[in-house]
Amino acid sequence: MKSEPVIAIAGVTGAVGAEFIATLNKRGFPVRKLKALASRRSAGRTVEFRGGRIEIEELTERSFDGVDIALFSAGSAVSRRFSPVAVQAGAVVIDNSSAFRMEENVPLVIPEINGRRIREHKGIIAVPNCSAITALMPLWPIHQRNRVRRVILSTYQAASGAGAAAMQELVESTRASLAGEAFEPRVFPHPYAFNVFNHDTRIDLETGYNEEETKVIRETRKIFEDDRIAVGVTCVRVPVLRAHSQSITFACERPIDEEEVRAILASAPGVKVIDDRARNISRCRSRPRARTKSWSAVSAGT
Amino acid sequence: MKSEPVIAIAGVTGAVGAEFIATLNKRGFPVRKLKALASRRSAGRTVEFRGGRIEIEELTERSFDGVDIALFSAGSAVSRRFSPVAVQAGAVVIDNSSAFRMEENVPLVIPEINGRRIREHKGIIAVPNCSAITALMPLWPIHQRNRVRRVILSTYQAASGAGAAAMQELVESTRASLAGEAFEPRVFPHPYAFNVFNHDTRIDLETGYNEEETKVIRETRKIFEDDRIAVGVTCVRVPVLRAHSQSITFACERPIDEEEVRAILASAPGVKVIDDRARNISRCRSRPRARTKSWSAVSAGT
């Protein structure tokens, strides 16, 4: 790869697409050229990038000629169709969808946990589910020292996880609710204004888990490389625009106490413990609790 | 007690006060006379009751002469000050605050669970914390057949639990947020519009639990009459106007499977299982999940 790669973003108009651009900027990531790809209806519009404006092109089978890195976040169907094309064209695909996460030859990577797996890629590197990332960041450093046997996880998931249209639906339905007007949901199956509901993915009729919950269970086992870990998870959508929160309780193989967990998390990359008990402030990345052998935390991710 | 009791409501202008009146009406509860009591600043206003209007009186030491049943929901300080006065005057106090819940000679009653304890009252009967009631209603019938050893509970608590002013703060702060205007919280310590936060009660510096969480733990043990039950609870406020939800995972003494739990809950008083997996509908009183020995549910109470 050349030192200044050509980067393509598939799904550049979405909520994650905007974050891809923001992160390239924030990190001063070297970019020789950025290709902004989206569906046909966005083609011709422009996005801002490093002081200039880039015209959005329709995502097609020919979009990846000369591309070194392709960032995908346009849903599983788009990833399934175009990622192999991008790989064929010589690009490395970093895929934010669930399309390839459980495939054996696709590394499923949280850099702070298993970044070494990136080297094993065959063209596609998968980004885990947002709830899995949020939960596993603080659990991993503990797991390394004292195996986590069981995790009970409840999520408070924001609209952002379902994309820009979902965030818009939260705003519009709340505005309608306050005005006493009717609102017909388009993105979610339930009213979202001042409401919480079971995560809006299909429920497995057998297990009773929705797809989001199933992803967290499977992805935890793949990322931790531990098929024995028991994960019980309840994924709930809350009327928040951005940032997921979680309540996490876990049990380790051997007893573990608060001081030990605090010490482990204090040096964990990407984890910040904010536990201002006197002021009841817990808008934090991870909030540990006193309990022998099991712990509870509220984590907030993006 | 005469067949048509005189009833006093202390805190009649609050969110629970309004529910007291609604419930008396809904059940056609016999009422010879209703005394509507509140703080001085509400005195002189009126409340509607059974077609007429009742003038609100200031709550004083002399409010309870001739009262048979006094329903209190005006906060712990008011209950502590005026409940003994009401008892002295011959009334039976049903107290919705936390003032007397853990006192040994005060029955802490969920009618479907331990209604028989009502007979033991010495003048005051305490109503448990809302999160405790919501969690214990489905757990109790299971506990009776196969002891519940451990409960992990995460709440999604509405504004209503903090009273009418809190509900108003959610509406007003959300309206301000949508208009891009600043809003200074008065009731809650954190911004509430499109936000979740740790329950707004004081955190015990030692245990890390907020007061709401401590209440759930202690009240569960008192109501179940089981000091061994381990309760891990995370109480979170979500931007919802009414109705608390919970994610509950529990472990029993002996293995228990989904069919057994379903059968138990099907005949549990006050519990309704709605589990429409094909349509992903779980706005329900209790949603069981497939798991051996442990279970998860989303319960919604008021």
Task: Say what the ipTM of the complex is.
Answer: 0.89
Structure tokens at A137: 């960041």
The yes-or-no answer on residue B284 being catalytic is no
- Burial of residue A175 (CB within 10 Å: 0-12, 13-18, 19+) is middle
> What pLDDT score was predicted for residue B281?
67
* Closest Cβ–Cβ partner in B208, B240, B275 for A277: B208
Same-domain pairing of B145 and B86: no
In the numeric block, the tokens 């000679």 are attached to: B105
- Measure the CA–CA gap between B21 and A31, rounded to whole angstroms: 67
Q: Provide, as residue numbers in chain A, all residues whose Cβ is less than 8 Å from the Cβ of B240.
A: 194-196, 239
- Measure the CA–CA gap between A77 and A58, rounded to whole angstroms: 16
Catalytic residue of the set B143, B199, B235, B244: B244
Structure tokens at B48: 């509607």
Tell me if A232 and B294 make a contact (CB, 8 A cut-off). yes
**Alpha carbon of B249: minimum distance to chain A alpha carbons (Å):** 8
Reported as a single tens digit per residue, the pLDDT across A24-81 is 999 999 999 999 999 999 999 999 999 899 999 999 999 999 999 999 999 999 999 9
Same-domain pairing of B156 and B104: no
Tell me if A156 and B156 make a contact (CB, 8 A cut-off). yes
**Domain ends where: B111, B127, B143?**
B127
Same-domain pairing of A270 and A155: yes
Catalytic residue of the set A143, A199, A235, A244: A244
**Domain ends where: A78, A112, A127?**
A127
B1, part of any domain: no
The answer to whether residues B210 and B235 touch, using CB atoms and an 8 Å cutoff, is yes
B37, part of any domain: yes
**Domain ends where: A127, A160, A175?**
A127
CATH number of the structural domain spanning residue B12: 3.40.50.720
Same-domain pairing of A169 and A94: no
Reported as a single tens digit per residue, the pLDDT across A242-300 is 999 999 999 999 999 999 999 999 999 999 998 888 887 654 343 333 222 233 344 44
How far is residue A177 from each of residues A91, A169, A174, measured CA to CA in Å? 46, 12, 5
Picking from A134, A196, A232, A42, the residue whose alpha carbon sits closest to that of residue B291 is A232
Q: Provide, as residue numbers in chain A, all residues whose Cβ is less than 8 Å from the Cβ of B195.
A: 240
Percent over 70 (pLDDT), chain A: 92
A1, part of any domain: no
Tell me if A201 and B275 make a contact (CB, 8 A cut-off). no
| A-to-B residue pairs, Cβ atoms closer than 8 angstroms | 136
The answer to whether residues B243 and B155 touch, using CB atoms and an 8 Å cutoff, is no
> What pLDDT score was predicted for residue A283?
43
Same-domain pairing of B62 and B91: yes
Tell me if A288 and B208 make a contact (CB, 8 A cut-off). yes
> What pLDDT score was predicted for residue B277?
87
Same-domain pairing of A55 and A97: yes
* Closest Cβ–Cβ partner in A201, A234, A294 for B232: A294
Picking from B141, B142, B139, the residue whose alpha carbon sits closest to that of residue B153 is B139
A182, part of any domain: yes
Angle A130-145/A258-266 helices, nearest 10 degrees? 110
Same-domain pairing of B195 and B252: yes
Same-domain pairing of B284 and B161: yes
Q: Provide, as residue numbers in chain B, all residues whose Cβ is less than 8 Å from the Cβ of A201.
A: 280
B273, part of any domain: yes
Q: Provide, as residue numbers in chain B, all residues whose Cβ is less than 8 Å from the Cβ of A174.
A: 174, 178, 194
The yes-or-no answer on residue B121 being catalytic is no
Same-domain pairing of A293 and A148: yes
Estimate to the nearest angstrom the gap between the alpha carbon of A118 and the chain centroid.
Answer: 17
Tell me if B232 and A288 make a contact (CB, 8 A cut-off). no
pLDDT tens digit at each of 302 positions of chain B:
557 999 999 999 999 999 999 999 999 999 999 999 999 999 999 999 998 999 999 999 999 999 999 999 999 999 999 999 999 999 999 999 999 999 999 999 999 999 999 999 999 999 999 999 999 999 999 999 999 999 999 999 999 999 999 999 999 999 999 999 999 999 999 999 999 999 989 999 888 999 999 999 999 999 999 999 999 999 999 999 999 999 999 999 999 999 999 999 999 999 999 888 888 765 434 333 322 223 334 444 33
State whether the Cα torsion A94-A99-A105-A108 is positive or negative: positive
A34, part of any domain: yes
B74, part of any domain: yes
- Measure the CA–CA gap between A256 and A258, rounded to whole angstroms: 7
Tell me if A277 and B203 make a contact (CB, 8 A cut-off). yes
Same-domain pairing of A152 and A203: yes
> Could you tell me which residue, A205 or B47, shows the higher pLDDT?
B47
CATH number of the structural domain spanning residue B211: 3.30.360.10
Tell me if A197 and B282 make a contact (CB, 8 A cut-off). yes
* Closest Cβ–Cβ partner in A174, A202, A281 for B280: A202
Same-domain pairing of B210 and B267: yes
Q: Provide, as residue numbers in chain B, all residues whose Cβ is less than 8 Å from the Cβ of A261.
A: none
Same-domain pairing of A147 and A31: no
Residue type, A114: N
Domain containing B63 equals 6-127
Question: In total, how many domains does chain A have?
Answer: 2
> What pLDDT score was predicted for residue A282?
56
Helix ranges (H only) for chain B are 15-26, 76-88, 111-114, 130-145, 164-178, 211-224, 258-266
